[in-house]
Chain A
Amino acid sequence: MRDRAITFDLLNAYVDGELDAAEAAEVARAVADDPALAHEVAALSRLRLVVTQSMETPDIALPQPRRRRRTLPAAAAAAAFLLFLGGAALLSGMDTAGTQAAWLADAWRAHRAWPAEQERTRPFVPARHAGALAEAYVPDLSASRLTLIHSEVRPLGDGAQALLTGYRGSRGCKVSLLVFPSQGGLIAALRPFRREGQEAYGWQVGGLDYLLLSDGMESRRFALLAETVQAGSRRHAPFDAETRTALRQSRDRSAPCNA
């Protein structure tokens, strides 16, 4: 006869080693006398074991804290280099507003036109949009705290169709990625554009032009973002853990876009 009811709560505590010696002995006696309880204990023990073993941990790179002033990761160094290139291009007047092609002017208009304040988030690009440019690469920028909230297919330049995906940040950032059949103005390497406080980077991959546009985002952060998306578009693969870390740190170190 049991001294008290053996509840499921008690059996769990027994399996977890949470009972004192007297309680554990009481439960052990009850389990020994009752096949149904023995079945419960066996099931709980197995469940614990399986839960523990079912965990597959990905490779996670530990980030560098801000107050430790160490060498920047390679991606950030590359971003600084791109920033330098962007500055050089700006100084040389290579990509000022006056020399921009029609497709670039259309891209700026498209970037301004979509409403960043819309509430509905779109975790994926609708098939009817993505299908228009089946080879287009649409990155997940959540590591940089940018959420995909908009997508559309719109005309660009001389009758080309462009897939526009819009991302919104939590601190006022707005980023557009336009993908369209090559218009001849971009090459495989990143090409920076500046206009009235707005920035863009363009590049070409496999017959498609990519144009990443932003306004208000800190240049260094945007340069890293552009380089990352460019690399992703070449591989057509999600960002690895190190890249996500670099994006996250870059975002955390940057000023809000609406500052």
Chain B
Amino acid sequence: MATRTRISNYLPRLFGYALSLAGDRHQAEDLVQDCALRALSARNVPTDEAAFRAWLFRILRNAFFDQIRRRRTRDAHAEAEGEKNPPGAEFWQGDERFITALTVKMEMTKLPRPQREIIALIDIVGLSYAEAAALLDIPVGTVMSRISRARRALLDAVGASNVHELPVKRKRNNN
């Protein structure tokens, strides 16, 4: 399969990951373009699909940090925030009905970048803990605790949110 087609297959997940890193849709699109350009220009492309996926997402991550370095605006505070333990009890006691597409989308954007990133890698990209650990160059145990903290933070934010999706009225079928 041509590299172009293989990259196209990952576009939604690449965009999801890029959005988690950049926090902005336009920047995320640019990141995906940058990643695709680098991948298409590469001389050696992994043939194994798992290796190809890891390679592709690493390119995107490197492209993001290259941009950060160029802008010299790396947010050390946000980095640190991502490692803090969430407040409150260990388990989440909120109402599950609050977990809607609208609230999750809203609250995801407010999370620190490392938390958005790990959620994207596990839930959107579909990496295993071991694959995410290899990509982020951290131990698997750290991935485990980081995804746990990130989801807890997201659940807390969603639980605290008062925005709910309105129930959709379904038309009665008169037949």
Contact = CB atoms under 8 A, between A and B. Distances in A.
Interface of A: 7-9, 12-13, 16, 18, 36, 39-40, 42-44, 46-48, 50-55, 57-58, 60, 62-68, 140, 142-143, 170, 241, 244-245, 248-249, 252
Interface in B1-49: 4, 7-8, 11-12, 15-16, 19, 25-27, 29-30, 32-34, 36-37, 40-41
A51 B15 contact: no
Q: Which of A55, A66, A170 has the most CB of B within 10 A?
A: A55
Contacts of B145: 9
Contacts, number: 112
Nearest to A16: B122
Given A55-B124, A142-B26, 16 more contacts: A12-B147, A12-B148, A16-B129, A18-B128, A36-B91, A39-B93, A40-B92, A46-B99, A48-B123, A50-B99, A55-B12, A60-B11, A60-B33, A66-B41, A142-B30, A241-B29
A170 B70 contact: yes
A65 B37 CA distance: 6
A65 B39 CA distance: 9
Is chain B's binding surface mostly helix, strand, loop or mixed? Answer: helix
B155 A244 contact: no
A9 B99 contact: no
Given A18-B144, A57-B16, A63 B155 contact: no
B59 interface: no
B105 interface: yes
Interface of B: 4, 7-8, 11-12, 15-16, 19, 25-27, 29-30, 32-34, 36-37, 40-41, 70, 90-94, 96, 99-101, 104-105, 108, 119, 122-124, 128-129, 144-145, 147-148, 151-152, 154-155, 158
B129 to A, nearest CB: 5
B119 A55 contact: no
Contacts of B16: 55, 57
Contacts of A57: 11-12, 15-16
B12 A50 contact: no
Q: Which 4 pairs from chain A and chain B are nearest by CB? A: A65-B40, A65-B41, A57-B12, A9-B148
